[in-house]
Amino acid sequence: MKHKKIIVTLLAASIISGCVYGIYRLGTKQAMKAAAPMPDSAHSSVESGQGGGSSGKRVLYWHDPMVPGQKFDKPGKSPFMDMQLVPVYADADNERDDGKVSISPRVQQNLGIRTVEVIKENLTPLLAAVGSVSYNERDVALVQARSNGFVERLFVRAPLDPVRKGQALAELYVPEWIATQEEYLSVRRMRGDAALGGLVDAARQRMRLAGMTDSQIRLIESSGKVHPRLTIIAPIGGVVAELAVREGMTVMAGAPLFRINSLRTVWINADVPENISAQVRSGNAVEVRTPSLPGMAFKGKVGALLPDVNAVTRTFKARIELANPSGRLVPGMFATLNFSSKSLNDVLMVPSEAVIQTGQRSVVMLAQGNGKFIPIDVEVGAEANGRTEIRKGLEAGQKVVVSGQFLIDSEASLKGTMTRMSEASAPQDRQAAGPAHRGEGRVEHVGQEDITISHGPIPSLQWGAMTMDFKLPANGLSKKLAAGDKVVFEFRPAGEGVFEITGISPVAAPMQHKKGKAVDGAMKKEKHGHMTLHQHGVMQ
């Protein structure tokens, strides 16, 4: 009885142990199955959205983020890097990669992206230019010697000395005047002859011919004395721009002595860029400021746009004449000018910082709602007060990005580059498919449309050894292949990251001699006396 109880107890313990072990083995198999990688076909079905997925998005293609231009139609290992291909999902309302950029509201807030509305308003363009102050060449006096003489005294001794109108400049001794003045005074002392009036007029005329002015002749008549010295006075006020005499010099008639430039008015010679010269016209109002006189603004008008272009700076010269009653504007001063032009009514305006200048085109980032942005090429016009006119590309009421647009533009440019690369790599025919490449490897699997080959390095593509799928030609394989066959194959890129087999042949291993040595090639004579070399066991 006691033995029976022991046997029953052992039997029950065995049954319980077997059940526990069975449950443990079943759980282990399920865990290993869940951890095992999913086959390519199943993975592709889930990722592509045909069989559903956690994301619920359709996969457009797979790619290597380090080589974004190549696209693959199924997941797997990248042929370029030691990493798995990454899926690229389609947007809910956009199946194609057309340059749009989607940014979540949270990321927009982190990037500080701000948008403003495109509006219509009036614009008065302000055209800016730089220039310098120079003398008014129309307000110049040139003092010359009217007769031969000697410089006895000089009252202005250095260039750029200021002078007043009527101020004495120099005193000359003129020997020629002595004879003409004495003749005139001798004729006037004679009286009682009616014919003497003609002699007096002739003597007065000879004094004029000697270089004396009417005021000097009247001085001779009133004083009755000879005045051989001439005092030269300044005809206008200004500065002595040129001084050509010194005391003791002998001067000839017509020799320049002084050049006096007036400072009542000055010229501003502005360098107007060639691209805005068409908007500058004679009579346009100009506001001039100079760093030498902060806080002061001078008003003037464009006097002329000179018909001369600087070949180096590509600028026109605009001449502005300004009144200078206090004489504070002097030649050589740097000046900035703002030209006012005709007002524009009801033009599309955006902040100037919203426009991205790329050198050849102008781009703005247009907000389309739901976190989507797209780059738009625009034609810009005049600019004033931090706002730019938009002539083409936008409409009133649209919203453009004014902060963070450079980050969005860089992402859009990357997408556009990827699209162009994929379009350029898509072959139209066999000739456009690109050059052929050659490799050797072993067949791993043969499907209806593709073949999997473990191949060695491909030097022409700088590929290392790897296992990858190739698309079979449309006419199928010329020879039957099976897994494990060693082959030599040629292939071409077929677009979208796919490579197509263009030729494939099996390679048989060399036959071994019974004693373990390879059979040497034998020379065999053909019918026509030609000799051909055959390798036993290597014929394809």
**DSSP for 39-107?**
PHHHHHHHHTTSS--SS---EEEEEETTEEEEEESS--B-SSSSSB-EEEEPPSS--S-SS-EE--HHH
| CA–CA–CA angle 237, 137, 329 (5° rounding) | 65
Q: Which SS3 state, helix, strand or coil, does residue 211 take?
A: coil
Same domain (yes/no): 212, 251? yes
Over range 119-137, report the average pLDDT: 85
Number of H helices, E strands in the chain: 7, 33
Q: Indicate the range of 170-179, 314-323, 400-409, 446-455 predicted with least confidence.
A: 400-409
Same domain (yes/no): 148, 243? yes
pLDDT of 284 strictly over 70: yes
State the Cα–Cα distance between residues 353 and 357, nearest whole angstrom. Answer: 10
- Asked if residue 492 belongs to a domain, the reply is yes
- Asked if residue 67 belongs to a domain, the reply is no
- Asked if residue 445 belongs to a domain, the reply is yes
Whole domain around residue 22: which residue ranges? 1-36
Q: Which SS3 state, helix, strand or coil, does residue 246 take?
A: coil
More confident residue, 415 or 519: 415
pLDDT category of residue 99 using cuts at 50, 70 and 90 = low
More confident residue, 44 or 187: 187
Instruction: Tell the burial category of 25 from Cβ atoms under 10 Å away from its Cβ (0-12, 13-18, 19+).
Output: exposed
244 touches 250 (CB < 8 A): no
- Asked if residue 69 belongs to a domain, the reply is no
Among 374, 409, 425, the domain-final residue is 425
More confident residue, 454 or 221: 454
163 touches 238 (CB < 8 A): yes
Q: Indicate the range of 57-66, 171-180, 258-267, 514-523 predicted with least confidence.
A: 514-523
Please list, in sequence order, all residues whose beta carbon lies within 8 angstroms of the beta carbon of residue 72, skipping any fewer than 6 positions away.
61, 62, 63, 85, 496, 497, 498
pLDDT of 35 strictly over 50: no
pLDDT of 538 strictly over 90: no
pLDDT category of residue 2 using cuts at 50, 70 and 90 = low
Q: Treating both helix axes as pointing N-terminal to C-terminal, what angle do 176-189 and 214-223 enclose, rounded to 10 degrees?
A: 50
Write the DSSP symbol of residue 353: G
More confident residue, 358 or 510: 358
Q: Identify the CATH number of the domain in which residue 449 sits.
A: 2.40.50.320
Same domain (yes/no): 412, 351? yes
pLDDT of 444 strictly over 50: yes
Q: Most confidently modeled of 178-182, 191-195, 398-402?
A: 398-402
Same domain (yes/no): 406, 498? no
What are the distances in angstroms from CA 384 to CA 84, 256, 348?
Answer: 53, 50, 13
Q: Which of 278, 297, 274 is nearest to 125 (CA)?
A: 278
Same domain (yes/no): 354, 405? yes
Side-chain half-sphere of 324: how many Cα atoms within 13 Å?
A: 25
Pairing type for strands 238-243 and 114-117 reads unpaired
323 touches 264 (CB < 8 A): yes
Alpha-carbon Rg for the chain, nearest whole angstrom, is 50
Among 193, 226, 261, the domain-final residue is 261
Same domain (yes/no): 106, 153? no
Same domain (yes/no): 166, 230? yes
Side-chain half-sphere of 54: how many Cα atoms within 13 Å?
A: 1
pLDDT of 6 strictly over 70: no
Q: What is the chain's length?
A: 540
Q: Identify the CATH number of the domain in which residue 189 sits.
A: 2.40.50.100
147 touches 176 (CB < 8 A): yes
% of the chain surpassing 90 pLDDT = 11
Q: Most confidently modeled of 25-39, 45-59, 324-338, 410-424?
A: 324-338
Among 425, 449, 466, the domain-final residue is 425
Largest CA distance in the chain: 197
pLDDT category of residue 523 using cuts at 50, 70 and 90 = very low
Question: How high is the pLDDT of residue 496?
Answer: 66
Same domain (yes/no): 145, 247? yes
Q: What are phi and psi of 341, to 5 degrees?
A: -120, -175
Same domain (yes/no): 148, 256? yes
State the Cα–Cα distance between residues 73 and 60, nearest whole angstrom. Answer: 8
pLDDT category of residue 536 using cuts at 50, 70 and 90 = very low
Question: For 294-338, how does the pLDDT look when each residue is reduced to its tens digit (9 = 90+)?
Answer: 888 888 888 888 888 888 888 889 999 998 888 889 899 999 988
3-state helix/strand/coil string of 364-377: EEEEEECCEEEEEE
Question: For 58-96, how does the pLDDT look when each residue is reduced to its tens digit (9 = 90+)?
Answer: 777 787 766 666 778 788 888 877 778 878 766 544 444
Q: Identify the CATH number of the domain in which residue 377 sits.
A: 2.40.420.20
265 touches 321 (CB < 8 A): yes
pLDDT of 133 strictly over 90: yes
- Asked if residue 528 belongs to a domain, the reply is no
Question: How high is the pLDDT of residue 195?
Answer: 60
- Asked if residue 452 belongs to a domain, the reply is yes
Question: How high is the pLDDT of residue 260?
Answer: 93
Q: Which of 397, 362, 361, 376 is nearest to 99 (CA)?
A: 376
- Asked if residue 322 belongs to a domain, the reply is no
74 touches 60 (CB < 8 A): no
Over range 345-355, report the average pLDDT: 86
Question: How high is the pLDDT of residue 79?
Answer: 82
- Asked if residue 90 belongs to a domain, the reply is no
Pairing type for strands 344-351 and 119-123 reads antiparallel
Q: Indicate the range of 108-112, 246-250, 404-408, 419-423 predicted with least confidence.
A: 419-423
pLDDT of 509 strictly over 80: no
Same domain (yes/no): 144, 255? yes
User: What is the average pLDDT value for the chain, to the nearest integer?
Assistant: 75
What domain count does the chain have? Answer: 4
Q: Which of 63, 49, 44, 59 is nearest to 414 (CA)?
A: 63
More confident residue, 456 or 80: 456
Please list, in sequence order, all residues whose beta carbon lies within 8 angstroms of the beta carbon of residue 25, skipping any fewer than 6 positions away.
none
Over range 28-52, report the average pLDDT: 40
State the Cα–Cα distance between residues 211 and 230, nearest whole angstrom. Answer: 10
Question: For 491-501, how does the pLDDT look when each residue is reduced to its tens digit (9 = 90+)?
Answer: 888 776 788 88
Q: Most confidently modeled of 26-40, 272-286, 313-327, 419-433?
A: 313-327
More confident residue, 258 or 60: 258
Question: How high is the pLDDT of residue 16?
Answer: 63
* Tally of CB atoms within 10 A around 258: 22
Same domain (yes/no): 405, 436? no
Same domain (yes/no): 399, 491? no
pLDDT of 521 strictly over 70: no
pLDDT category of residue 268 using cuts at 50, 70 and 90 = very high
% of the chain surpassing 70 pLDDT = 72
pLDDT category of residue 402 using cuts at 50, 70 and 90 = confident
State the Cα–Cα distance between residues 279 and 336, nearest whole angstrom. Answer: 17
Question: How high is the pLDDT of residue 441?
Answer: 92
Starting at the edge strand found earlier in the chain, the sheet holding 140-144 runs 140-144, 256-261, 238-243, 162-163
pLDDT of 439 strictly over 80: yes
